Chain A
């Protein structure tokens, strides 16, 4: 009887060990995982581990993928996360992952770099609702929403320095065929101007949003949704847009 019990225990232990070897983690095993507040308080260049939910990701390349993630408390930008192409396909919106890497800052963008991840299979999912930042685009408070999905409404498209409603690359030196990022400037009701970007690795030249921006005219009124990316100031990556009828 004792041998039988021992066998069962050993088999159970082995099963648990094998589960731990996989890339999926049970819900209860959250040792060392930081809350968003702890992550926000952590120093730059320190090791961090967070559990978070995928919202979107850029195109996979060379075993790396850049991911926009969020939970109820805040958002994380995972720059060039180590990831196989097969796993990248599983990073669908709502998927929970545990990420371990280093907190870093690049031109004002706070992000997790040199990171690895595993899927967390606890049955939970989270899709962020956009936070309305229409009245905060020029406020000092804006940085507190860094990387979050946001919305801003009733913005007016203004001319770029090139005179265009949008540019391929920042100085209009790119092209549609080159799958260049798109840049366009909008003004809020208070007259504050902000530059918005279609990051082509997130929304390439085959997407509706890319085409919508290519059809913008100076003076159009738009509602936008995107991730509050940062580059020497707010430089949101836009993923959705509605153009008001004239």
Chain B
């Protein structure tokens, strides 16, 4: 099992014997802690100076894609930072699973032993925020003259605020406040066996539609008398495989202009719009011209074996796509090499207005008692945004740097222009996927983040997985089936227990609704006290003046 390993444990990603019940207990504890104001308030104020005489040790929880080069880049960044700030030592703990980081953070919030910095998803940060003052709010610090983005006292050439790609920074706002910085971004790409498309009598357009994919996929199911498929002469052919069905559903809905949640957490997924998409998918699943990663396996494995024509996977998985890919799970003799694999945008409903998801890791800082430690964490986080780190990490996969500063760096521009020079650093499909994303930053969208948004994402994918499985099993998929599926999915992901808790990301001036009664009473009391204080001082002042006047 080589690639990312089969996804064994998803939402909480707990290895070993930890239980969901345990995680939920911790989560409940967190929520209760939040209700009662937390144990220690650690509101952070930016120190005037970074104290380089104080020895500081930082813990950084990093996420890599089972990619050794990525771990080496993190290590080098830590050592380079330490050489700039000799009083700081960075300890890195590597993860290959966001779910495991999430679970460990939740556990460590309860015990007060969170890391200083971690790579994570905004969806997860929304849950971390249920602990009071746990995650550092970055809204002010990024603008600090000395230590903010591009600040005067930095010992490295970091990006300025306006050099962070605005679309990517937007994703890090939760409830109107900035709680993270983007680290890398990817999107999904369509990897196409162009040779087989043409063999089936079609011309591959630059802008691929869902209709085109379904039509070609169905056509590819034609068989020879010996039961092999005409298009590849093999016994196996799954023309269209989608890796991440939650993204598939979310993007299909978005392309249609149908939201799947509101910004404040109302679930809009279970309706006739979604049903219409599911029936379309069901039609092709029943013909076996469509399948998913969870049902069949990695799209890249089938694509590289000449058993798939359209594979949708992350641009961050581009080094696995194509028979000449530098990374592969299938034996060399199983690859079909005399085919041309090309990259396109994911299929669209409206090619004039393409839409694709923006995804990828972000970084957050956990608040600590010592402001110097927090400042050191912030400095290291900024260091991870420098061109050297951004460009070298982005080159490991089809990621793109999150700063325009890196995009415009001559080294990066040179890299982008060298596609195909080798099948490693300059692997053409990886570079084509990267360039496709760079060209379409303006066409990307992000999804609302709130406490529970990760469950809604999972549910969106589950609808496709269940429907596809049912069709493969010759079960009846009709309106009654859909009603039952909706009901079961709501129950499975506990979506009926979600509160409309947090505002959508990317909206700084979010309307948070009317103030709670307690807050109103507190504000009125504070105002009244101030009025009384002012009246008292006025009274004293007048009294003193009158006294002075009488004595003159």
A residues adjacent to B (C-beta < 8 A): 45-47, 58-62, 66, 85, 102, 104-107, 114, 162, 169-175, 177-181, 197, 200-201, 204, 231-233, 235
Contact = CB atoms under 8 A, between A and B. Distances in A.
Interface of B: 1-3, 5-6, 8-9, 11-12, 14-17, 19-20, 64, 66-68, 70-71, 93-96, 100, 295-298, 301, 329-331, 334, 469, 472-474
B68 A172 contact: yes
Nearest to B20: A62
A99 to B, nearest CB: 16
Contacts of A231: 1-2, 6, 329
A201 B8 contact: yes
Contacts of B9: 61-62
Contact of A170 (B66, B297, B301, B334): B66
B377 to A, nearest CB: 22
Given A102-B473, A107-B301, A178-B95, A173 B71 contact: yes
Contacts of B68: 162, 171-173
A41 B17 CA distance: 36
Contacts of A200: 15-16
Contact of B20 (A61, A170, A180): A61
Given A169-B66, A173-B94, A61 B473 contact: no
A45 B1 contact: no
Contacts of A162: 68
A93 B1 CA distance: 25
Which one of B96, B100, B301, B474 has the highest number of Cβ atoms from chain A below 10 Å of its Cβ? B96
A218 to B, nearest CB: 19
Given A107-B301, A169-B96, A181 B66 contact: no
Contact of A181 (B1, B64, B334): B1
Nearest to B13: A61
Chain A residues touching B, majority SS: loop
Given A173-B94, A232-B330, A197 B66 contact: no
Contacts of B1: 170, 181, 197, 231, 235
A173 B67 contact: yes
B330 A174 contact: no
B67 A171 contact: yes
A201 B13 CA distance: 12
A191 B362 CA distance: 46
Contacts of A173: 64, 66-68, 70-71, 94, 96
B6 A170 contact: no
A174 B96 contact: yes
Contacts of B67: 171, 173
Contacts of A107: 6, 297-298, 301, 329
A87 B71 CA distance: 40
Given A171-B68, A178-B95, A231-B1, 8 more contacts: A45-B472, A59-B16, A106-B295, A107-B298, A107-B301, A173-B96, A174-B94, A179-B15
14 contacts: A45-B469, A58-B8, A104-B295, A105-B296, A106-B297, A114-B469, A170-B66, A171-B2, A173-B66, A173-B70, A174-B94, A178-B100, A232-B2, A232-B329
Contacts of A172: 68
B5 A169 contact: yes
A162 B17 CA distance: 30
Contact of B15 (A60, A171, A197, A201): A201
B16 A204 contact: yes
B19 A178 contact: no
B330 A106 contact: no
A102 B471 CA distance: 13
Which one of B8, B20, B71 has the highest number of Cβ atoms from chain A below 10 Å of its Cβ? B8
A169 B301 CA distance: 19
A79 B95 CA distance: 25
